[in-house]
């Protein structure tokens, strides 16, 4: 079957008038000899979005290589078959965010699941991803589906899957992803979506599930009026939802926890799938927090709390008179260190022995915290699906702004609960006449100064990623940024307790580390850089670590250059 034949067959079963019209026009142009249209048809039908450990994620549009109602319906039907093969009476809870078609994809999923005989529970409205992840455990569901593309570009959407039962509400991992993908392909290859049974007899959850999440999350902050509570005072802060779904739920949690009412970035408060004020709806991206910084400066805030569009990530900024904007954006590693330190102190105070965990591309600082407090520590592969599965987990994080502070309630990164923990910490520091910056300086004194950096190359064709990784393997550098390489760990065939993964980890003189890997969600090759300095004053340690990172960043760009 040619790509054009595949496009015509797709058109016949597409229930969406928007993508039908789009595809019909494309087919007509291709048949009229338009080379650009023919290339577009080939791109859309020459491959298929694969269902992997991140579920599905891609650009909206007609075709098997795009996110659309046909693809989502096939995914729902295949996932239903998988669940019915695991248990006689499975259940699934379904959530969605404010991106284009998220609500449509969620309803399609609910109808297909119900039609297949799976108990389907649709969340009452668009809500943050952490609420869905919480609901899987709270409702003891067999599975969960969240329709979101998180912090991806505006034209993207996605389909994230969780499993209950023995998986405790974590995201799927191999080999389950392959089994689900096979079930989806079986649906796609044997029937059309218009013939799949649908049912409107799915359930819509009540608001009590949202209330349960709010109560459990606010409780993280503790009761400041309790006799043995650490004193804290409200810290004035600015909050942005980044045009996502975090505002309503987050502000209710903040109020319940007794924090100051935030100054809200009004322009970014409400869900808007077009993300009009940001080029890229990711707090890590340059310019994404400019509005928040301007708003915070005008309001006299002492802290900025930012979520990504589905509120599973947290970004933090603190005042910095030396910065052009007046603000210092903390890295994910810095926030992870502060929250992990807090978790370790609590764990020891309560006589526990919970494990601290981070993905291998995150800073080694958390392992230093664990060693200091005599607690177990685990490295995991990248992705919260791995962090959340660590046994006896007390706290886990990864450098891409993901933190898990309440593993008893949720097994995924959660920007709202992490915000709650961070605001509680800031309030306690303020009560003692200290700031977050003071706490970071103290960390340099106690654990050593850890600094991190990241260099990435975005590619236009995925094949370029393989070429870059192969070239680095074939011509292994003796030094990076002028610092000698002492050891190379290649995870391609498995390494230690880790299964095969496309990761290269370089150890360098002085204890520095450079990790190279493809991104799991974007067409990028990423380099993660970490350095540590433990000699001299806190200021001298910080300066030495930053200088090493700067040298390694130059070397990393040379390493990635084609």
The enclosing domain of 454 has a CATH number of: 3.30.310.50
Q: Which of 86, 87, 123, 90 is nearest to 106 (CA)?
A: 123
Over residues 329-353, the pLDDT tens digits come to 999 999 999 999 999 999 999 999 9
Same-domain status, 438 and 465: no
Same-domain status, 334 and 460: no
> Is residue 277 exposed (0-12), middle (13-18) or buried (19+ Cβ within 10 Å)?
middle
Does 320 map to a domain?
yes
Q: Do 516 and 527 contact (CB within 8 A), yes or no?
A: yes
What helix, strand, coil percent values describe the chain, rounded to 5? 40, 20, 35
Decide if 150 is catalytic: yes
Strands 513-518, 504-508: pairing kind: antiparallel
Question: Please, what sign has the CA dihedral across residues 83, 86, 88, 94?
Answer: negative
Same-domain status, 255 and 330: yes
Does 383 map to a domain?
yes
- Cα separations (Å) of 112 from 69, 70, 73, 103, 360? 12, 12, 7, 14, 38
Over residues 297-315, the pLDDT tens digits come to 999 999 999 999 999 999 9
Same-domain status, 386 and 469: no
Least confident range from 27-31, 54-58, 154-158, 398-402: namely: 54-58
Distance of CA 437 to the CA centre of its chain: 26
Structural domain count, the chain: 3
The enclosing domain of 137 has a CATH number of: 3.40.120.10
Does 24 map to a domain?
no
The neighbour count for residue 445, using CB atoms within 10 Å, is 12
Residue ending a domain, among 425, 447, 469, is: 447
The neighbour count for residue 166, using CB atoms within 10 Å, is 6
Residue ending a domain, among 142, 176, 206, is: 206
Same-domain status, 436 and 479: no
> Can you say whether residue 485 is alpha, beta or left, with left for phi > 0 and alpha for psi between -120 and 50 degrees?
beta
Over residues 254-301, the pLDDT tens digits come to 999 999 999 999 999 999 999 999 988 999 998 999 999 999 999 999
Domain residues for the domain of 488 are 449-560
Q: Does residue 390 register a pLDDT over 80? A: yes
Same-domain status, 405 and 267: yes
DSSP 443-492: HHHHH-EEEEEEEEEE-SSTHHHHHHHHHHHHT--SEETTEEEEEEEE-T
Same-domain status, 404 and 491: no
The percent of residues in the chain predicted with pLDDT above 70, rounded, is 99
Same-domain status, 357 and 479: no
* Residue partners of 345: CB distance under 8 A and separation at least 6: 373
> Can you say whether residue 445 is alpha, beta or left, with left for phi > 0 and alpha for psi between -120 and 50 degrees?
alpha
| Local confidence band at 4 (pLDDT 50, 70, 90 cut-offs) | very high
Name the catalytic one among 64, 150, 301, 512: 150
Q: Does residue 120 register a pLDDT over 80? A: yes
Does 368 map to a domain?
yes
Does 14 map to a domain?
no
Does 41 map to a domain?
no
The average confidence (pLDDT) of the chain is 95
pLDDT at residue 521, as a whole number: 64
Same-domain status, 464 and 320: no
Q: Do 486 and 475 contact (CB within 8 A), yes or no?
A: no
Same-domain status, 265 and 313: yes
Does 150 map to a domain?
yes
Q: Does residue 31 register a pLDDT over 70? A: yes
Does 23 map to a domain?
no
Over residues 496-542, the pLDDT tens digits come to 888 888 999 999 999 999 999 998 767 889 999 999 999 999 999 99
Calpha distance 263→238 (Å, rounded): 5
3-state secondary structure of 396: strand
Residue ending a domain, among 398, 420, 447, is: 447
Same-domain status, 253 and 394: yes
Same-domain status, 339 and 470: no
């Amino acid at each position: 079957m040619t790509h054009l034949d595949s496009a015509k067959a797709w058109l016949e079963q597409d229930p969406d008038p928007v993508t039908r019209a789009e595809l019909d026009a494309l087919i007509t142009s291709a048949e009229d000899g338009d080379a650009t249209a023919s290339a577009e048809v080939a791109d859309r039908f020459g491959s298929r979005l694969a269902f992997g450990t991140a579920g599905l994620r891609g650009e909206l549009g007609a075709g098997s290589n795009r996110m659309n109602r046909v693809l989502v319906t096939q995914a729902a039907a295949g996932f239903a078959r998988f669940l019915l093969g695991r248990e006689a009476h499975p259940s699934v809870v379904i959530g969605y965010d404010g991106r284009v078609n998220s609500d449509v994809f969620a309803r399609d999923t609910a109808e297909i699941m119900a039609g297949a005989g799976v108990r389907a529970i649709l969340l009452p409205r668009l809500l943050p991803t952490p609420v869905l992840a919480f609901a899987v455990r709270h409702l003891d569901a067999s599975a969960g589906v969240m329709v979101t593309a998180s912090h991806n570009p505006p034209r993207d959407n996605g389909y994230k899957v969780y499993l209950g039962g023995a998986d405790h509400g974590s995201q799927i991992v191999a080999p389950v992803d392959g089994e689900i993908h096979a079930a989806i392909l079986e649906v796609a290859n044997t029937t059309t979506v218009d013939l799949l049974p649908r049912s409107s007899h799915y359930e819509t959850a009540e608001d009590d599930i949202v209330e349960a999440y709010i109560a459990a999350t606010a409780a993280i902050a503790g009761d400041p009026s309790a006799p043995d509570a650490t004193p804290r005072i409200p810290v004035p802060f600015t909050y942005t939802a980044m045009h996502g779904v975090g505002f309503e739920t987050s502000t209710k949690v903040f109020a319940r926890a007794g924090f100051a009412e935030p100054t809200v970035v009004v322009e970014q408060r409400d869900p808007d799938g077009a993300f009009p004020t940001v080029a890229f709806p990711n707090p890590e991206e340059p310019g994404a927090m400019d509005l928040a910084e301007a708003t915070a400066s005008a309001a006299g805030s002492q802290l900025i709390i930012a979520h990504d569009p589905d509120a599973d990530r947290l970004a933090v900024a603190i005042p910095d008179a030396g910065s052009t904007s007046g603000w210092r954006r903390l890295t994910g590693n810095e926030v992870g260190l502060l929250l992990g330190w807090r978790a370790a102190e609590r764990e020891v105070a309560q006589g526990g022995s919970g494990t601290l965990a981070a993905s291998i591309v995150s800073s080694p600082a958390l392992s230093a915290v664990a060693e200091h407090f005599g607690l177990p520590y685990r490295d995991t592969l990248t992705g919260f699906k791995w962090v959340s599965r660590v046994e006896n987990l007390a706290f886990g994080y990864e450098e891409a702004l993901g933190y898990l502070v309440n593993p008893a309630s949720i097994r995924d990164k959660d920007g709202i609960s992490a915000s709650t923990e961070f605001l509680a910490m800031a309030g306690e520091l303020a009560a003692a006449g200290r700031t977050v910056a003071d706490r970071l300086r103290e960390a340099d004194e106690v654990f050593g100064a850890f600094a991190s950096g990241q260099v990435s190359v975005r590619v236009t064709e995925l094949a370029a990623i393989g070429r870059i990784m192969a070239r680095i393997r074939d011509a292994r550098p003796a030094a990076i940024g002028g610092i000698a390489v002492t050891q190379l760990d290649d995870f391609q065939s498995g390494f230690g307790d880790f299964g095969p993964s496309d990761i290269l980890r370089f150890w360098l003189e002085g204890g520095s580390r450079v990790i190279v890997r493809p991104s799991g969600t974007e067409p990028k090759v990423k380099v993660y850089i970490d350095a540590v300095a433990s000699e001299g004053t806190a200021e001298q340690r910080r300066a030495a670590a930053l200088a090493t990172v700067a040298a390694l960043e130059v070397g990393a760009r040379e390493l990635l250059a084609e």
